[in-house]
């Protein structure tokens, strides 16, 4: 990766960034796009800073993060346990893989109004929705990973007389680790995205709820500002989890 290459890469990114900013500024100042639709970039940035100064926003951020964390913990533990149990037998494994992949395909978002009905508008429905969304890909990857351990590793286990416990914990979990971790990473993404969707579609608190309220009030500046904050929040959470779940050695 030569210096010139790096320069070109950042050059292109800067170009994209510049185009966006210029288009934005142009659109609002000269281009005549109503500031009701596209507020001035300076206003938005100012609103971001102001919002971050309020206790309310931080309380909301706390709620949203709480929902995401709990939902992920539920999805991950349920997924790991389910995947582990399903992987132990050929039949349960194959049937499990099919059903779990169907669960992943199913448009769970259609069930969200029902979740609201069942558990109310509070954080429970967000956690339930996030957890259900995260569960399927995690469980699927765990099942698949544990069922597809290379025969040669299991052979080593047999040759060296590994106990069933050792075979499960040392060999299978070790071999399946990359796939399990990738399932967990995907789970993180899905949980964070789902929780935000859930908040937008019906909630009383949380950061997504703030965006929804700004939208109802037709407050464009706050909408843009909150969108930026939401993106930043989920990005930060995902980066943290990516680091934590990075596969270290093949």
Residues 203-222 that bind another protein (CB under 8 A): 208, 211-212, 214-215, 220
> Does the protein bind another protein through residue 154 (CB under 8 A)?
yes
> Does the protein bind another protein through residue 157 (CB under 8 A)?
yes
> How many Å apart are CA 127 and CA 112, to the nearest integer?
11
Token pair listed for 150: 């290379």
Whole-number minimum distance, CB 181 to another protein, in Å? Answer: 9
Whole-number minimum distance, CB 63 to another protein, in Å? Answer: 16
> How many Å apart are CA 179 and CA 191, to the nearest integer?
18
> Does the protein bind another protein through residue 44 (CB under 8 A)?
no
> How many Å apart are CA 171 and CA 165, to the nearest integer?
9
Residues composing the chain? 250
Footprint on residues 23-42 left by another protein (CB under 8 A): 36-38
Give the residue carrying structure tokens 């533990």: 77
How many binding residues for another protein (CB under 8 A)? 95
Could you say which of 18, 19, 59, 95 contacts another protein (CB under 8 A)? Answer: 95
> How many Å apart are CA 17 and CA 75, to the nearest integer?
37
> How many Å apart are CA 230 and CA 123, to the nearest integer?
17
> Does the protein bind another protein through residue 49 (CB under 8 A)?
no
> Does the protein bind another protein through residue 128 (CB under 8 A)?
no
Footprint on residues 229-248 left by another protein (CB under 8 A): 230-231, 234-235, 238
């Amino acid at each position: 990766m030569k210096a010139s290459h790096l320069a070109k890469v950042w050059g292109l990114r800067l170009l994209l960034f510049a185009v966006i900013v210029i288009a934005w500024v142009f659109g609002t100042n000269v281009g005549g796009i109503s500031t009701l639709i596209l507020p001035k970039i300076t206003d938005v940035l100012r609103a971001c800073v102001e919002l971050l100064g309020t206790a309310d926003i931080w309380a909301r951020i706390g709620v949203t993060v709480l929902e995401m964390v709990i939902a992920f913990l539920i999805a991950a533990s349920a997924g790991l346990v389910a995947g582990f149990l399903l992987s132990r037998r050929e039949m349960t494994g194959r049937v499990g893989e099919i059903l779990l992949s169907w669960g992943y395909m199913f448009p769970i978002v259609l069930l969200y109004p029902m979740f609201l009905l069942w558990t109310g508008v509070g954080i429970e429905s967000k956690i339930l929705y996030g957890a259900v969304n995260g569960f399927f890909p995690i469980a699927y990857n765990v099942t698949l990973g544990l069922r597809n351990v290379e025969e040669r590793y299991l052979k080593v286990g047999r040759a060296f007389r590994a106990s069933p416990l050792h075979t499960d914990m040392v060999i299978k979990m070790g071999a399946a680790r990359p796939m399990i971790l990738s399932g967990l990473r995907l789970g993180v993404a899905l949980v964070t995205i789902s929780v935000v969707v859930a908040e937008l579609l019906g909630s009383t608190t949380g950061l997504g709820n703030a965006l929804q309220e700004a939208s109802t009030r037709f407050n464009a500046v706050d909408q843009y500002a909150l969108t930026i904050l939401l993106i930043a929040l989920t990005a930060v959470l995902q980066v943290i989890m990516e680091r934590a779940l990075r596969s270290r050695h093949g």
